Structures are given as C-alpha cells and as structure tokens.
Amino acid sequence: MAFVKVGALSALPPGSVMEVILGDDSYAICNLSGELHALWGICPHAGGPIGQGTLQDNIVTCPWHEWAYDCRTGENDFDPAVKLDTFAVKVEGDDILLDPAPRA
C-alpha cells in the first residue's frame, strides 16, 4: 500500500506520541528523539488507545491499564510474545507519512 499523510511533524515534538485514525484502523506514531516509529494503535489487553498514551524513552504506555510497548519493535515490555504490528513511517517536509501495510 502507498504512504498516506497522517499528520504534521510540528504537532509531534520529540518524546511524544499521537493517535492516527485511518478508516476503522488506529495507529500510534511515536517521536523518539526525532526518529519516528509507528505501531498498531489498539492495545490487545483491553482495546485501549495506544496513541493517547505516554512515551518515556522508547516505551509507549497505554493510558487505560498501563500496558507498555517498545515503540521501535511493538514488543510488550513484560511479555515479548505480546507484540503490536509496526508500520513504515517517514517525514517529507512537515508531513508525517504512514504506510498502513504491516511490516513483515
């Protein structure tokens, strides 16, 4: 699938996370010290919105029950077998572009 514009880099400062909705799908975009990472935006624990959580170092935490994931890999910090899909993301100018096809 092709990259689609999902936001502005100026609205996502380093150390923050944003929620992106494309159709019925939700994604979380993390700005880790200027490097963007994208992962599935729904927590498998109880369906919480990962993109509305917090980012500390490389860990994004779901705001509902504090399940935490490495924003670079999608792995749960407690059980690496629990993993969110990750997605390609890039920046062109101030535009954040996401490829909604999961990485293999």
Residue corresponding to tokens 């935006």 = 41
Question: Which pLDDT tens digit goes with each residue over 29-81?
Answer: 999 999 999 999 999 999 999 999 999 999 999 999 999 999 999 999 999 89
Contact criterion met (CB below 8 Å) for 57 and 14? no
Structural domains of the chain sorted by starting position, each given as residue range(s) with its CATH number in brackets:
4-102 (2.102.10.10)
Q: Give pLDDT, residue 104.
A: 64
What is the model's pTM? 0.94
Taking residues 23-32, report their average pLDDT.
97
CA distance 13 to 64: 23
CA distance 41 to 21: 9
- Higher-confidence residue of 1 and 11: namely 11
